[in-house]
Amino acid sequence: MFGRTPPPNRQTPVPVAGRHLVLDAPMVGPWPAGYGVAVFGMGCFWGAEELFWQVPGVYSTAVGYAGGDVPHPTYEQTCTGRTGHAEVVQVVHDPAVVPYEDLLRLFWENHDPTQGDRQGNDIGSQYRSAVFWTTDAQAAAAARTRDRYAPAVRAAGWGEITTEIAPLREFYYAEDSHQQYLSAAKNPHGYRCHAATGVAYPR
């Protein structure tokens, strides 16, 4: 992968806390019946998670890794670009309060989906723009909203959207030190990368 040998496989999941520091919800499923699970890659996962935990109807969030071939990767392994994973945020939501397409609008507007393997000064495949879908309906919505957003992005002088849209094979939790990293209890003044285009999603 990427012309280099991937790092050794881990056999056990990374342990995380039982409760969400901000939402006081479970960090690990099973989730309430009828709730959806959305997974987005939009650069550094700290700021992405903070963005989504503020949305009414979001039940729980977690940061982790998806889209690669190495099970249970560490943060250090993922940062090498050799695992194939992207840094992602998992968003568990009540679709009766916040539909999946509303989450997609937030996703499109709060990062730059034209940058390929980077967001701002964060460079590497781990920072790529990605939607990892968990249902056929999510796959269709991701493609539909991309196609609706792309002309607005082009008209504003940006390039073509490079966002990966792919089925979620596995979500691997990141280390507990990264969960809710920007919360008041951890690093409220920590690093946030929102390399957004400033282009509004067409309403």
Positions marked catalytic: 44
The H or E element containing residue 123 is: strand 122-123
Q: Can you give the C-alpha Rg of the chain in angstroms?
A: 16
Contact 133, 166 (CB under 8 A): yes
**Between β-strands 86-93 and 58-66, what pairing exists: parallel, antiparallel or unpaired?**
antiparallel
Q: Give the torsion sign (CA, 132, 42, 55, 72).
A: positive
Stated length of the chain: 203
